Amino acid sequence: MSVVVFEKITGVRRWSEDLQAKGESVGFVPTMGALHQGHMSLIDRAKDACDHVVVSIFVNPTQFNNSEDLANYPRTYDHDIGLLKSVGCDALFYPSIPEMYPKPEKKHWDFGLLTSSLEGFYRPGHFDGMLTIVQKLLEIVSPKQAFFGEKDFQQLALIRKMVEVESLPVEIVGCPIVREHDGLAMSSRNVRLNEKQRIEALAISRTLRRVNEESAFSNPQELVRRGMDLLSDAPGVRLEYFAIVNAATFQPLTEWPENEEAVALVAVYIGEIRLIDNMVINKKR
Ligand code: PAF
């Protein structure tokens, strides 16, 4: 199976327009590469829903608030293209930085707690850069549907909001987190973990599972303390945040909401590697 690679905006735009003019649907999976089974699950979902699938690989400099993180971000083009062929992806959009940013550009969005809390607080500028590139990519590819992982829970909520505010004609589809057999959420950053760190990182999903179990008999505030204690005591883990918020508003919770979802979100450092994860709390389990 071959994958057609577009490096220019005009190429991928024409490809998508021509297909859609013939009445064939295009699904889009934006990525920063270093593809793994989590990305493959997004592509599978897109293949089920749409006639054609295009993936983008672009390590977007404007969403990195730390130059070392950008420099160390894994770039694995040969491996990625092999995976895209094996999964039957139709097209890859692989632009250069000057192609996407002929001039410096970073829009600013303010969606209250959605932009200012958690990732927004700890990674200043990250969401502006992320939303800038996602809007540009969606406008270039103009797919019927675009697919994003729920691991980046706050990112997904913001993309939905941006699409609504900018009236973009695309349906955003959220796809479940894919976990390794032992619970670690799949992430492009996992390849940077050494053997010891890989084991230490299991404290993240272990804590989320424990908190979810204990939600049957504890309130959110007690569980935030519990989650923070568990992660602070875990060897090799440096806690950045552990929070339980309303999944729609990102308002921190003191009680379980009646008809709305609650989500526990976490960010930690394992050595120099920053990992995030989350779990929607199912307090009726
Ligand atoms: O989740 C990612 O990989 C990136 O944030 C995205 C959505 C591709 C934008 O660069």
What pTM was estimated for this model as a whole? 0.97
Ligand 1 atom with least separation from CA of 58:
10
**pLDDT in the model for residue 53:** 98
Domains of the chain (ranges, CATH numbers): 4-175 (3.40.50.620), 188-280 (3.30.1300.10)
- Residue to mutate (ligand 1; options 32, 127, 156; most atoms within 8 A of CB): 32
For 227-243, how does the pLDDT look when each residue is reduced to its tens digit (9 = 90+)?
999 999 999 999 999 99
Mean pLDDT of 54-59: 98
Instruction: Give the mean pLDDT of the chain.
Output: 97
CA of 210 to the centre of ligand 1 (A): 29
Is the pLDDT at 270 greater than 70, yes or no?
A: yes
- Residue to mutate (ligand 1; options 28, 31, 70, 178; most atoms within 8 A of CB): 31
Is the pLDDT at 285 greater than 60, yes or no?
A: no
CA of 237 to the centre of ligand 1 (A): 25
**pLDDT in the model for residue 165:** 98
Is the pLDDT at 246 greater than 90, yes or no?
A: yes
CA of 31 to the centre of ligand 1 (A): 5
For 103-116, how does the pLDDT look when each residue is reduced to its tens digit (9 = 90+)?
999 999 999 999 99
Q: Tell the residue nearest (CA) to atom 1 of ligand 1.
A: 31
- pLDDT level of residue 282 (50, 70, 90 thresholds): confident
CA of 43 to the centre of ligand 1 (A): 14
At 137, list the tokens: 């990519």
**pLDDT in the model for residue 218:** 96
- pLDDT level of residue 137 (50, 70, 90 thresholds): very high
Is the pLDDT at 284 greater than 80, yes or no?
A: no
For 188-212, how does the pLDDT look when each residue is reduced to its tens digit (9 = 90+)?
999 999 999 999 999 999 999 999 9
Question: Which residues surround ligand 1 with Cβ inside 6 Å?
Answer: 30-32, 60, 63, 130, 133-134, 152, 155
The pLDDT > 90 percentage for the chain reads: 97
**pLDDT in the model for residue 163:** 98
